[in-house]
Structure 1
Amino acid sequence: MLKEIDAVVNCAGALQDGPRDNVAAVQFDAMSALYGAAAPSLRIFVQVSARTDDVATDTPFFATKRRADAALRASGLPFAILRPAVVIGRTAHGGSALLRALAAFPVITPLVFGQSRMQFVSLDDVTDAVFDALSGDIAPGSDIDLASDQTLSLAEAVAVHRRWLGLTETRTVRLPGLFARLTAHIADLLGRLGWRSPLRSTALEVAAGGISGHARDSGRRLLTLAAALDLYPAGVQDLWFARLYLLKPAMFATLSLFWLLSGIIALLRFDVSAAHLVSAGATPTLAAIATVGTSLADIALGMGVAIRRHARAALIGMVTVSLGYLAAATVLAPSLWADPLGPLVKVLPSIALTLAALAILEER
């Protein structure tokens, strides 16, 4: 496979096991196969890894990276291992996205591990290091930490991001460790449904111990966090992203509960639900069939939107079904549009929320 390839750069990684990720397969098995497939003429294998001897060392994320790095050293291939700290670039994902979201939190800044020490490196500095490894300026056999020599607390890092977003300072509120454990359990559960939350237990274990690197080992002058952010002045799109980031799970949870409860309540109060259709002119048999069918559809959509691989189809289904409900009700019972309780009018904001959720579904 790599017969005519003279250099390989590996940046693959997975934070935690889930329906969409297998940490061992991505970070060790695939790498071992790649080492074996490399031609003897390979000039350099650049491994973008992580510091694996500091905190959370026993987690599958760091354990498999450590094994893959050791296997690379033992493979006989010319290599360079780069170990970046928290990477800051123009776009955000995972931990860097969470930093922006915390920075945009209104009124207060809620933090659990506010005093944890962190180091950062700009994406430009990482790509420069990769280029240097490919060009030979970084000697084969090198193992280099990439981190600015500036160490910040998590609270300070969030404050830097807040200034970058153009927001005024807020008061930091320290949350108890119980909150972190509860959040991690919920995020791990969502991870089993395919959602890659940066609040899963592996990430919080790392955050509790801090993220650092031995900048003195690299011999490189790397940008501080503020300088890295200054390379990409924040625009309104960055503020929107930061504010929507923590709203996204709330939006999906709201939609899931709304549709689940709609279907369940309709079944629990079957006679009342069917009676509404009978009063609109349906026969009792048709009303019963329609009540069961629509209730099961509501429940299926509520469950589907909670599962990442089915979320897009479920959201589209919600909009389609909602429009179908409105059309049917308009034909069968147009007076409901004037009902003081607004049973049809209230469907419209539900459709709007669904469209908003569909717009921000993708992670990258």
Structure 2
Amino acid sequence: MSIVQETPIYRFGDFTLDVTNRELRLGEKRLELNARYFDALALLVREHGRLVAKERFFEEVWADVVVSDSALTQGIKAIRRVLGDDAANPRFIQTVPRHGYRFIAGVSTVARDDTAPLPDGEAAGSPDAASTPATPAAGEAFPSPTRLADRGAAALATALATALAGTLGGAVAGLFGGLLYGFGLAHAPPDPQPGTASILLVLITLSGFLGTMGGFGVGAGIAAAEYAAGGRAAWRIAGAVLGGMLVGGSVKLLGVDAFNLLFGRTPAGITGGMEGAALGLAVGLGAHLGGGFEASPWWRPVAAAAATGAACGVLIVLAGGHLLGGSLDLLARSFAESRLQLDAIGHFFGEVRFGPTTRMVLAAIEGLLFASCVVGALVAARRPRNGLPA
């Protein structure tokens, strides 16, 4: 006959933590805490007095999803709010910079069949009561091979979802970009261009394809970085940059070969690897500055990505690069018989031609659209999985 050891009830300060029944109480009042944050608190209390490394939170609390350090930071903040703790002068949770967290309050354990108040000499939180460390629940300190396999499958599923979300976000950005240029040409003063409907269709198709490929590159780069190295922000940013650069360079190479094959020449300077890397940086850095894909509220990383995307678009032009608008202008000027002339759009910005101001403003809009749509898709894809509040 096997004996099942139940997890004891923990007491610290005026709080009672019943892991089995998943209850945190302050006196008789039941406190609400997000499910993952409850597990994080239980891990801290169970290991009271000992450092709990960040990696252990990711392995035991977020085992089924790859998250960044910001998710853990948000969780600790939420736990501190519920406990009334102060990070600057902690009573319960101490931060160990760059390593993890330690539960510093005294913890006593109560057998499940004995929930009566402790004797005066063993008040919750007293040194004597905390002298016996809690026993970890069976299987938590040493995950079984099956659980490790499940974690690997969950990480792979998260990576695939990340790549797909990035692809969809890029496609949406490309659609909006095509509409922007199509309707801009249709209503450009003084006269709209002939064949506007066909031009609009071509621009939407071309912009949608480029956006989809760019989103796939950035999303796949982030997914690969997370799968290989966890949710660290630096790896995410590096993955986004590398993915954007590889896909951007590949698309440019195919485009150059196609134009050389069909027309015998191709314009120099069309968008490619450098621009893809810059947009990848805008996505990764913007999400990080906004608190990560798991941040709350959800619009913070999206807004930060929009700002960094716009800034990167301007910097691309200042560095001599081109996004979609600049590349289309180069193509139109390289083929005299082309019906596509973007000079008319310059009138919206007080220029006679498709000049530097027009190029810079449109690049900023393109960068804003791409970064915000990709980050928005990644945030939306992860929210049902990580359980963070809105």
When normalised by structure 2's length, the TM-score is 0.26
When normalised by structure 1's length, the TM-score is 0.27
Structure 1 or 2, whichever has the larger Rg, is: 2
